[in-house]
Amino acid sequence: MAARPGGAWMFYYDHGLFLTRGRLAIDVRRRQARGFISHAHTDHMAPHEVAYCTPGTARLYAHRHGDHRRTVEMPYRRRLEFEGQQLSAWPAGHVLGSAMLLVEDDRGSLLYTGDFKLGPSATAEPAELPRADLLVIESTYGQPRYRLPPRQEIVARLLGLVGDVLDAGRTPVLHAYVLGKAQEVTRLLTDAGIRVLQHPLVYAVSRVYEAAGCPLGDVAEYPGFPSAGCAVVVPPRGQRAVRLEGLEQGVAIAVTGWAIDSGARYRLGVDHALPLSDHADYDELIEAVRQVAPRRVYCTHGPESFVARLVEQGFDAQPLSGVGPRGL
C-alpha cells in the first residue's frame, strides 16, 4: 500500500518531526526516549535516552554530550528494523557522519534530508538521495539569491587569499563553525601545503574527526602565539569563545555561505568573507527534490516562500510546521 499523500500515517509534527510508529523523534532538540540525530550540530540534537545515528555522528555526540549516552549506530545504507519499519541512513554531504533518514514500511517511504549539500566535500561522504514517496527537506537557502559560485572557484579564492596574506608576512585568521566548516577549511589548506593551527575548541573536534578516520593533515592546537607560515582557524566572531592572544594584527576571513549577501564582511566583522557552504544552495534544493521525485514535499528550516516556488514548478509542497500534532 502506498504512503498516504498527506503523510499522516507515517509522521506528525509537534515542535519537531516524529514517526507515528514508535514515536522516534527526528532532530528534535528536546530530550526524548528515542531520537534520530542527522548530525552533531547543536541545533539538531539533544541528550536523548537512546540516540540513533551514524558511527561518525555517535563519536561527535559523545564528545558533546558525554560517553555515557546510549547510541544505536546506523552505518550508511544498512536497514534497521524499528517498530515495523525499516530505517536506513544515507550520506548527506554536510559534515562528518551527517545522514539523511529513509523510512520504509507497508505504507510507503519517507526521506528526511536534515542539513545536506550536493557535490564534493573534503571531510564528508558525498550526498546520496534515494527516491521516496514523501520528502521532508531542509531548505536553509530556499531563495533564488542563494545561488552560490562553483565550489572550485571559492576554494581557489580561499587558497589565493591565504597565500597572499602569508606572503605579506601576516597571519590569516579563518573564522568558521567549530564543527564541520572548521575541519573542511583546515583540510583544504593542509592539502595545499599550508600548516594550520586551531583554536582549542576547534582542535578538540578535529581530534574526533581524525579518530573517526577523517585525516586533516598538518594541524596542531594554537600554542598561544602565531607562527610564521601558518594559518589559524578559530570560531566565528559571534560565538562565545575565549579569544586567542597574538592575533590582533591578523587578517580575519569568514568562511560561510551567508557571505553571498552584500555587506556580509561588515556584518560579520571581518576583512574578507568567502561563500563556502556545507548547505545545499537554491539550485541544489530544487535538484534534490527532482532526484527524490516525491509525491509530496514538506519544507523546514527555511523560508516559507520556498514552498510557493516548488508549487510554481509543479511540486505538491507545504511547510512541515503545517502538519500539526495529529498529522493531516
Q: How do beta strands 99-105 and 108-112 pair?
A: antiparallel
Is 259 in a helix, a strand, or coil? helix
Range of the domain at 37: 11-145+279-322
Task: Identify whether 6 is part of a domain.
Answer: no
Task: Identify whether 328 is part of a domain.
Answer: no
Residues 114 and 155 both lie in one domain: no
CATH number, position 261: 3.40.50.10890
Residues 188 and 314 both lie in one domain: no
Q: Which of 223, 227, 228, 173 is nearest to 203 (CA)?
A: 223
Q: Which residues contact 160 (CB under 8 A, 6 or more apart)?
A: none
Task: Identify whether 2 is part of a domain.
Answer: no
Instruction: Provide the edge-to-edge strand list for the sheet that holds 134-138.
Output: 80-82, 85-91, 99-105, 108-112, 134-138, 296-300, 317-319
Angstrom distance (rounded) from CA 264 to CA 117: 22
**266 burial level (CB within 10 Å; 0-12, 13-18, 19+):** exposed
Task: Identify whether 115 is part of a domain.
Answer: yes
Residues 115 and 178 both lie in one domain: no
Residues 104 and 215 both lie in one domain: no
Q: Which residue, 259, 274, 289, sits at the end of a domain?
A: 274
Residues 191 and 44 both lie in one domain: no
Residues 196 and 83 both lie in one domain: no
Task: Identify whether 68 is part of a domain.
Answer: yes
CB 219 within 8 A of CB 206: yes
* Residue 67 confidence (pLDDT): 82
Q: How do beta strands 85-91 and 80-82 pair?
A: antiparallel
CATH number, position 316: 3.60.15.10
Q: Which of 85, 25, 21 is nearest to 51 (CA)?
A: 25
pLDDT in tens, the chain (328 residues): 234 434 447 999 998 999 999 999 999 999 999 999 999 998 899 999 999 999 999 999 999 988 888 999 999 999 999 999 999 999 999 999 999 999 999 989 999 999 999 999 999 999 999 999 999 999 999 999 999 999 999 999 999 999 999 999 999 999 999 999 999 999 999 999 999 999 999 999 999 999 999 999 999 999 999 999 999 999 998 777 778 999 989 999 999 999 999 999 999 999 999 999 999 999 999 999 999 999 999 999 999 999 999 999 999 999 998 775 544 3
Residues 38 and 93 both lie in one domain: yes
Residues 56 and 108 both lie in one domain: yes
The answer, as to whether pTM is greater than 0.85, is yes
Q: How many domains does the chain have?
A: 2
Task: Identify whether 122 is part of a domain.
Answer: yes
Residues 54 and 172 both lie in one domain: no
* Residue 68 confidence (pLDDT): 83
Q: Which three cell numbers stand for residue 87?
A: 530505517
CB 147 within 8 A of CB 61: no
Residues 189 and 103 both lie in one domain: no
Task: Identify whether 136 is part of a domain.
Answer: yes
Residues 250 and 132 both lie in one domain: no
* Residue 326 confidence (pLDDT): 43
Task: Identify whether 206 is part of a domain.
Answer: yes
* Residue 238 confidence (pLDDT): 78
CB 192 within 8 A of CB 159: yes
Residues 167 and 265 both lie in one domain: yes
**295 burial level (CB within 10 Å; 0-12, 13-18, 19+):** middle
Q: Which three cell numbers stand for residue 323?
A: 502538519
